[in-house]
Structure 1
């Protein structure tokens, strides 16, 4: 009876995470947005100022323009790569998947830094183009719109590639064979089968890209110029330089409403499950899509060639970082003339770098422990809820993934700074719990769906208490999901820059914040060594996660 009672009341396990999000997410964001209505010119004074000042109107238009262009580029680049991944042998598909996952897991700041090195006037790309005679003089590929589009597309494109690949694999190969037998050519197959059946997966990925792009801060601030100023940069400017919290709140509300409108529109049309994990366009029916016996058509060969180019585009910045980190010159050059470990020695010998690493690990420890415990409990509680209440709670738990981090960072800064919490690791650690817990909820919920509920009922029916059943039956089944969630939480915390910019000071700053400060002013070659070490660390974490998934299977 006690075990059954505990199981029936398991829905209350969503409460701890709900309380944490109410205190550390909803309240600070609501406070910031509330300040937008506090103006000497009246409740709408700040909004009237946004409409009256050309710079603010331009930034709003620029934000939507860049977000739309990045989304379009991500979709166009993702199609050939996803097609190639679905039509090559399994071993090659795994290699291409690694080309997607490695940049996807690698710090966005590391990738942005690598692109700056590649695209600057004396960078690798200009050296190749001028050396080959294609250009007579270097071209400005960075600190303008092209730099922003390249950097943001590279960071966000995997969000489209992964669901689109799942959508291609979900197409029934027998359907393709039947269409070819009836005389359908490559264009007809594309128009009548591939595009309609992959559209839901593309929409899911494009929605995530667009929502992320609306609130992007790091890449535009590092790779763009004044003409590419986005709303997130204006929000930070009004806090850091103008101390105008009201106007920052008004800009935040405008960006938040746009982001939530896209989110809820997609949820209403396609459903939350497809956005957060359901990328399969038609379900797993029949034979998974693969290259047919006729081989590739001329159009298919072009798509495969483009797909290989996109894979190279994804992996190139990561590969360039390593040889540049081994150069001995104080100036960035590729390929390096002389090889040396000088910049690695510089990294390990400088106290500020070592202190930032320790701060990052401390914050990540707080984030992983808190988010894993709260997220696992919330996932167990959600598994017991049904109907509209379950959908409402699940949506509320996912909001920290949707709301731009710049809004949360400023809201938490306004709440925690008066208490002096930004002097240590706890302010940032608690903020990372807020943004990392949803990842744990998603992975543990997915693991719970793979556990046969009859095992739980059988254990309880044989007299086991609920806690004994959980320890002996349920926990082993969901442990890989918990571990994967903890890995995601660690990467989310260790990679964060935006929250760290506002919730740490000189003594408590993390490694990404110290790197950002270095890149924003002048790229010291030591940063290439740091970037290379972060990539190696990411590879180890990725291999650990893959090992956990293999053991789960």
Structure 2
């Protein structure tokens, strides 16, 4: 078979395959140089610098302190995962059982915190939960307690903060599973006399369990490597393995032991990732909303909400309030003029925003964050898009392997990459440079672009490309006129992911910047770690505002393009 001008179809496909490898090469090279090399170099230290030894691993296994840290990490990760699953069911149920407008509002409530800086949310929870915070003042005001309750700087604070950050990873797959249920199954059970509770526990829970387990696995993988939330909201008893790695590098200067801890953490994460990929596949990492065939809201019964359903809806609303509370609290507090943080503010003022922009330290950090984010977005969009297009054009034998390799930076704990890059960049002068930090951020952000563009490419018919090339169109013309318009929403979504990934980062900035080159999140982290002043809340308000504007711009552009 030939294309009308005589260009053989087989030749077009061969050209397409070679172009695929050219698209993959740049991102692969970046990940080898700035991910594989620093991580492997760091892990190699765990087996000794002078000669092979297992001394550091024996130390981890035999010293009670380190065994305690490993147990604490495991315990906090398990508890966070359980809380995420239990709290996700009510809000996912509520999202699946309401009308389109309310559903859209609830999806925004779930996604907005997901996109908002985890440091901002952690800062907000500290303000809400501290001794003189909003929650304690409320409890004492209504007479439930006579003195402040310790909600923060302990296990409860860590669990609240980590659950809030990670819960969307369970809510979204659960919502998709509920919307994808076949309503005829539920109706048949009801027709046979099953009570609503029986339908829920015998039909709904088993059928949605894969979504819950997939989300729980993602949560557990992320929780193992958490650093910021336990460092800010926990106490000494809640020290996790990531904090121990940072401490051994920053204060103890014990690189070998830090590398051994990193090896243990990375090994556990990769084992979970391999199991996750085999059981669920990579698509679950970005599970979106599904939809029943009829498009109708999911119902346990045909008679409307039962008492149990009403209770579930109320609990879902409470969880939605939990998700959006930090954002609703931080921004109004930043508009107060009092030097003491209060909610609601007694008056409205831009005093602390003026203070922010009059202070060269804060303005410089903001400008630096935007510069690094701009470089990151440019690099991540080009590399991630090229890799996604390239991967779509090679044989299936290599496709799954490369897909796994490209998403590894999303899976590996960021603390390991940060320490590895510091170890690699320090001798060549890239530490304390925006270029070193931008390279690290691009490593983290490019996989997000790759995933979103890969998803967009599923709607593209490759025969259109073959036909255009066969008719003599240069590949660049074909891409500009046919391919890019189809996948542009995925590219824009990836760019938003890349921007927020860079603008939100604290861990890489802690290791790859100094006092003169620190970014806004790092400056906020340093302030929160000591004492929260209103200028930090104004900085948090600015980050929320920037995030909302970026998301709104992405939504407008995507709708116009559609």
Compute the TM-score of the two structures, normalised by the length of structure 1.
0.96
Shift of 1:249: 0.2
Q: Could you tell me which residue of structure 2 aligns to residue 268 of structure 1?
A: 278
Match of 1:346 among 351, 355, 362: 355
Q: Does 1:329 align with 2:338?
A: yes
Shift of 1:329: 2.1
Q: Could you tell me which residue of structure 2 aligns to residue 35 of structure 1?
A: 45
Q: Could you tell me which residue of structure 1 aligns to residue 501 of structure 2?
A: 492
The answer to whether the 8 Å contact 1:4/1:466 transfers is no
Shift of 1:475: 1.3
Q: Does 1:386 align with 2:395?
A: yes
Q: Does 1:154 align with 2:161?
A: no
Match of 1:448 among 457, 462, 466: 457
Structure 1 segments, 4+ long, off by >6 Å, are none
The answer to whether the 8 Å contact 2:387/2:450 transfers is yes
3-state DSSP of counterpart to 2:473: coil
Q: Could you tell me which residue of structure 2 aligns to residue 415 of structure 1?
A: 424
Q: Could you tell me which residue of structure 2 aligns to residue 307 of structure 1?
A: 316
Shift of 1:216: 0.3
Shift of 1:366: 1.2
3-state DSSP of counterpart to 2:431: helix
Shift of 1:284: 5.5
Q: Deviations over 1:5-57 (max 9, x none)?
A: 54231221111111110010001000000001116796100111112221111
Match of 1:124 among 129, 134, 144: 134
Tell me how far apart the structure 1 counterparts of residues 367 and 276 of structure 2 sit (CA, whole Å): 41
3-state DSSP of counterpart to 1:329: coil
Q: How does 1:8-87 map to 2 (within 5 A)?
A: 8-12=17-21, 13-38=23-48, 43-87=53-97
Q: Could you tell me which residue of structure 1 aligns to residue 512 of structure 2?
A: 503
Shift of 1:463: 3.2
Tell me how far apart the structure 2 counterparts of residues 285 and 172 of structure 1 sit (CA, whole Å): 8
The answer to whether the 8 Å contact 1:107/1:495 transfers is yes
Unpaired segments ≥5 residues, structure 1:
none
Tell me how far apart the structure 1 counterparts of residues 397 and 468 of structure 2 sit (CA, whole Å): 30
Match of 2:522 among 503, 513, 517: 513
Q: How does 1:134-283 map to 2 (within 5 A)?
A: 134-277=144-287
Shift of 1:4: 5.4
3-state DSSP of counterpart to 1:28: helix
The answer to whether the 8 Å contact 2:80/2:223 transfers is yes
Tell me how far apart the structure 2 counterparts of residues 239 and 170 of structure 1 sit (CA, whole Å): 48
Tell me how far apart the structure 1 counterparts of residues 50 and 233 of structure 2 sit (CA, whole Å): 37
3-state DSSP of counterpart to 1:332: coil
Match of 1:470 among 476, 479, 485: 479
The answer to whether the 8 Å contact 2:109/2:324 transfers is yes
Tell me how far apart the structure 2 counterparts of residues 76 and 248 of structure 1 sit (CA, whole Å): 34
Shift of 1:405: 0.2
Shift of 1:203: 1.5
Shift of 1:288: 5.1
Q: Could you tell me which residue of structure 1 aligns to residue 121 of structure 2?
A: 111
The answer to whether the 8 Å contact 1:171/1:289 transfers is no
Tell me how far apart the structure 2 counterparts of residues 279 and 214 of structure 1 sit (CA, whole Å): 27
Match of 2:328 among 319, 326, 333: 319
Q: Could you tell me which residue of structure 2 aligns to residue 400 of structure 1?
A: 409
Tell me how far apart the structure 2 counterparts of residues 385 and 504 of structure 1 sit (CA, whole Å): 39
The answer to whether the 8 Å contact 1:39/1:45 transfers is no
Tell me how far apart the structure 2 counterparts of residues 126 and 239 of structure 1 sit (CA, whole Å): 37
Tell me how far apart the structure 2 counterparts of residues 477 and 278 of structure 1 sit (CA, whole Å): 19
Compute the TM-score of the two structures, normalised by the length of structure 2.
0.95
Residue correspondences, number:
551
The answer to whether the 8 Å contact 2:17/2:394 transfers is no
The answer to whether the 8 Å contact 1:3/1:466 transfers is no
Q: CA RMSD in A?
A: 1.7
Tell me how far apart the structure 1 counterparts of residues 142 and 496 of structure 2 sit (CA, whole Å): 44
Tell me how far apart the structure 2 counterparts of residues 517 and 289 of structure 1 sit (CA, whole Å): 46
Shift of 1:193: 1.9
Q: Could you tell me which residue of structure 1 aligns to residue 108 of structure 2?
A: 98
3-state DSSP of counterpart to 2:177: helix
Tell me how far apart the structure 2 counterparts of residues 524 and 289 of structure 1 sit (CA, whole Å): 46
3-state DSSP of counterpart to 1:423: coil
Q: Could you tell me which residue of structure 1 aligns to residue 16 of structure 2?
A: 7
Tell me how far apart the structure 1 counterparts of residues 285 and 14 of structure 2 sit (CA, whole Å): 34
**Which has the higher mean CA deviation after the structures are superposed, 215-224 or 201-210?**
201-210
Tell me how far apart the structure 2 counterparts of residues 89 and 183 of structure 1 sit (CA, whole Å): 27
The answer to whether the 8 Å contact 1:4/1:460 transfers is no
